[in-house]
Amino acid sequence: MALDWLLLESFPEPQAVRLRYYGWAQPAYTLGYGQKWDEARALCDQAAELIRRPTGGGLVDHRQDWTYALVIPASHPLAQARACESYKVVHEALSAALNAVGVKNHLQAECSTPDKNKFSICFRQPERFDLVRSDNNQKIAGAAQRRTRKGLLLQGTVNQPLAGIVTDWMEFGNQFAHRLGGALNVELKPWNQPSWPEPNVKAEAVFKFIAKEWNHRR
């Protein structure tokens, strides 16, 4: 979570689109920025870590998922678009990448009616422009967004068991990046861990996201 936030707020090339995809070193869940900690904690495996995201959305189980973070700078037109439009464009690229590796899917056309009495869990039911399998309509991918003056951060997840045909997730990530580049009209280039422009900025971000004051704030 700290690195995703740094990609938005402190990346040394602020006009560049940034994409990273990653796994988890230990069992973990993330809860949305506005969700209540106690309610989320009660729904998680108690042996797993729980971390608050800087983005919205519901509770996400990361024990069997492929996770990515995308940052679109404020100067890009999509960063200024409505949330549903940015969600749709990114998920169209993700859908095409999944279809390219044999996972037949499509974008969910309509919103379901949320049950206000139930805590929001990401994969419980698909919302508009989530990705669902074409054979059984199960939700396979979702995401959450956050806009700041620096741009748009989108944090997304793909359910790996539902995408069981995928064997090379690095290649899948490359497929996704290629399609994103076309959708956003940007040139792709690899990047290594950047040298952050301010001293201690990485350590400060890590401390923020592991702190009780951040994670238990609601």
Distance CA 191, CA 24 (A): 20
Percent of the chain scoring above 70 in pLDDT? 96
Query: Which domains are assigned to the chain?
Result: 2-186 (3.30.930.10)
DSSP annotation string for 117-144 = TS--BTTTS--TT-EEETTT--EEEEEE
Q: Are 150 and 167 in contact (CB under 8 A)?
A: no
Strands 28-31 and 49-52: parallel
What tens digit of pLDDT does each residue of 142-191 get? 999 999 999 999 999 999 999 989 999 999 999 999 999 999 999 888 88
Strands 28-31 and 105-107: unpaired
Q: What is the pLDDT of residue 197?
A: 75
Distance CA 164, CA 218 (A): 36
Judged by average pLDDT, the poorest of 64-78, 171-185, 195-209 is 195-209
